[in-house]
């Protein structure tokens, strides 16, 4: 009888740990960046990060800090070096994260959106500029995810930010190629 109680207790504890996912085996994710202080192999385009804006009810300050810290690394992956505005960068970027909660039948769902707006530095909006005074960005990347996830998860924020920066950088590179083609035609 004593053996039966011990075995039952072990199975109950194992069931509790596994059902609550208390063992963090499936939640490990890591990344690393190697950023050389020496001049990179290819000349990197400079970019200023004007700000990160989070529109989420409650607990948004840490999301803003995390995004501000990760954004320069993701821009670096795409060939853009984030510098201070005093260095006269070529481009300026602004990041917006929005989380909305809505009812879908009996369930509550979330819509997560990450937008990366990139302007030529001289066309970037001033901090106090109204929307109607701003010039359109030269490139925008936007990712929207709908489900039960939240920006409170670093993994979700990380994934969406990386994709949005990638989309904006890809569009910016396409714009630059088009400008170069037009210059070549004009000079020919």
Give the pLDDT confidence of 37-73 residue by residue, as tens digits.
665 556 778 888 888 888 776 666 788 899 999 999 9
- pLDDT (tens digit, 9 = 90+) per residue, 101-115? 888 778 888 888 999
> For residue 33, is it within any domain?
no
> For residue 26, is it within any domain?
no
Its pTM stands at 0.73
Structural domain that includes position 167: 45-187
Number of folded domains in the chain?
Answer: 1
> For residue 3, is it within any domain?
no
- Kindly report the CATH number assigned to the domain that includes residue 79: 3.30.160
Q: What is the DSSP string of 90-158?
A: SEEEEEEEEEEEEEETTEEEEEEEEEEEEEEGGGSPPTT--GGGSPPPSEEEEEEEEES--TTSHHHHH
> For residue 95, is it within any domain?
yes
């Amino acid at each position: 009888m004593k053996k039966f109680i011990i075995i039952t207790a072990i199975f109950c504890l194992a069931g509790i740990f596994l059902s609550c996912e208390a063992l963090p085996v499936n939640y490990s994710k890591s990344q690393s960046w190697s950023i050389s202080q020496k001049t990179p192999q290819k000349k990197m385009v400079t970019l200023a990060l004007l700000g990160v804006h989070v529109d989420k009810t409650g607990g948004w300050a840490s999301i803003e800090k995390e995004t501000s810290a990760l954004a320069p690394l993701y821009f670096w992956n795409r060939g853009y070096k984030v510098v201070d505005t005093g260095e006269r960068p070529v481009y300026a970027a602004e990041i917006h994260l929005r989380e909305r909660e809505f009812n879908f039948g009996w369930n509550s769902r979330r819509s997560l959106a990450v937008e990366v707006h990139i302007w030529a530095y001289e066309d970037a909006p001033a901090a106090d500029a109204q929307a109607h005074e701003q010039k359109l960005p030269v490139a925008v990347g936007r990712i929207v995810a709908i489900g039960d996830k939240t920006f409170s998860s670093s993994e979700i924020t990380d994934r969406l930010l990386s994709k949005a920066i990638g989309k904006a950088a890809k569009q910016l590179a396409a714009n630059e190629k088009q400008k170069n083609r037009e210059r070549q035609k004009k000079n020919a």
